[in-house]
Amino acid sequence: MKGIKIFSPATVANLVCGFDVIGLALDSPKDEIFLYKSKNPGIRINRIYGTSLPNDPKRNVAFVALQFLLKKYKEKQKFDNEEKIGFEIELIKNIQPGSGIGSSAASAAGIVFGANILLGNPFSSIQLIRFAMEGERVASGTAHADNVAPAIMGGLTLVRSYKPLDITKLHTPNELWVSIIHPQIEVKTSDAREILKQKILMTDAIKQWGNVGALVSGLYREDYELISRSLEDVIVEPIRAMLIPAFYELKIKCKEIGALGGGISGSGPSVFMLSKGNYTAKKVTEVMNRVYSPLRVDYKTYTSPINKRGVKWVKIL
Ligand code: HSE
């Protein structure tokens, strides 16, 4: 096998109460990645469509994640120096960088997933997540896993622990849909993390872990009322909300029309809402449009079911 085409999904990290630990994968939007194995050593990003990304390879998440995988592959195979291996990459970025719906994670997850197949599947999903996290470190300054884990594993995921890395896939209720609004403003993840407090009150921690536990229970029981009650964040959202125009108006109006709840997608600027069923989710997306259309901010909206499979290959090249 010489090459492979991959679809890599957008993701929503945090899911309101699960800062840095919970995430989900979306059906759309998704990036398309063409990856070719080559006998010329090195990694070459030949074309990027849809956006401009850093030319400096050390700052490109796909490059860094793949370089990390190759290093581990060579250690694993105990390569002699004569053996040559390289990759050529083309990226079609449908997920806009800086959107808060896991653009960097989609690149990193897609690349390591594709390379693993082209190399004969030497690595497990958890190892691929580890490599993709190195891409996240370049993009945001921290190697968080709440976007790359759902991108690779699909559905909803929970990071129980970062050291050691312990990630589990959660149940996806069948009728859970997601509405997203992406205001076209810049919120850097590193800045959105910088403004957070490093210490929190015990009373807030108690509320937060109550909500995380109840959210997980609600997902397994497909109890949409419990999911709705659990979508509350008393730690991160109150600080980050100021970064997003009309954030509270969005939340109130979307819930009035039937959304279960929602909040900032990852570090923003996108805002997401969960709904039971496609019909309500589309109405929620319409409300998002109505709230934003009078504002002087360009935006895009999406309505998507949860992507239970995650990153996938679609064609052998
Ligand atoms: N959990 C991360 C954050 C996700 O909220 O900073 C960034 O995409």
- pLDDT tens for the chain, residues 1 to 317: 599 999 999 999 999 999 999 999 999 999 999 999 998 898 999 989 988 777 677 888 999 999 999 999 988 887 655 568 899 999 999 999 999 999 999 999 999 999 999 999 999 999 999 999 999 998 888 899 999 999 999 999 999 999 999 999 999 999 999 999 999 998 988 899 999 999 999 999 999 999 999 999 999 999 999 999 999 999 999 999 999 999 999 999 999 999 999 999 999 999 999 999 999 999 999 999 999 999 999 999 999 999 999 999 999 88
Q: Which has the closest alpha carbon to 131: 157, 151, 103?
A: 151
Assess whether 33 and 159 both reside in one domain: yes
Contact 276, 176 (CB under 8 A): yes
Assess whether 267 and 206 both reside in one domain: yes
- Which residues have C-beta atoms less than 6 Å from ligand 1? 13-14, 19-20, 140, 144, 146-147, 189, 192-193, 266-267
Instruction: Report pLDDT for 308.
Output: 97
Assess whether 147 and 190 both reside in one domain: no
Query: What distance in angstroms lies between residue 266's CA and the mean position of ligand 1's atoms?
Result: 4
Backbone phi, psi, residue 179, to 5°: -110, 140
By alpha-carbon position, which residue is closest to atom 8 of ligand 1?
266
Contact 278, 177 (CB under 8 A): yes
Would you list the DSSP string of 183-194? ES----HHHHHH
Structural domains in the chain (count): 2
Q: Is 168 a catalytic residue?
A: no
Assess whether 194 and 219 both reside in one domain: yes
Instruction: Report pLDDT for 76.
Output: 84
Q: Which CATH number does the domain housing residue 106 bear?
A: 3.30.230.10
By alpha-carbon position, which residue is closest to atom 1 of ligand 1?
20
Assess whether 225 and 92 both reside in one domain: no
User: Could you tell me the pTM of the whole model?
Assistant: 0.95
Instruction: Report pLDDT for 108.
Output: 96
Instruction: Report pLDDT for 231.
Output: 98
Assess whether 44 and 184 both reside in one domain: no
Query: What distance in angstroms lies between residue 213's CA and the mean position of ligand 1's atoms?
Result: 20
Could you tell which of 16, 140, 180, 240 is best to mutate to test the pocket of ligand 1, judged by most ligand atoms within 8 Å of the CB? 140
Q: Is 136 a catalytic residue?
A: yes
CA dihedral 138, 139, 140, 143 (to 10 degrees): -50
Q: Which CATH number does the domain housing residue 187 bear?
A: 3.30.70.890
Assess whether 88 and 225 both reside in one domain: no
Instruction: Report pLDDT for 57.
Output: 78
Catalytic residue, from 32, 134, 136, 237: name it.
136
Query: What distance in angstroms lies between residue 207's CA and the mean position of ligand 1's atoms?
Result: 20
Assess whether 80 and 145 both reside in one domain: yes
Catalytic residue, from 157, 172, 189, 280: name it.
189
Assess whether 35 and 163 both reside in one domain: yes
Instruction: Report pLDDT for 166.
Output: 97
Domain housing 143: 3-170+307-316
Which residues lie closer than 8 Å to 291 by C-beta, 6 or more apart? 246, 249, 250, 253
Nearest atom of ligand 1 to the alpha carbon of 14: 1
Assess whether 293 and 312 both reside in one domain: no
Beta pairing class for 42-49 and 86-92: parallel
Instruction: Report pLDDT for 239.
Output: 97
- Spatial distance between the Cα atoms of 227 and 274, rounded to a whole number of angstroms: 9
Backbone phi, psi, residue 291, to 5°: -65, -40
Assess whether 248 and 129 both reside in one domain: no
Assess whether 106 and 217 both reside in one domain: no
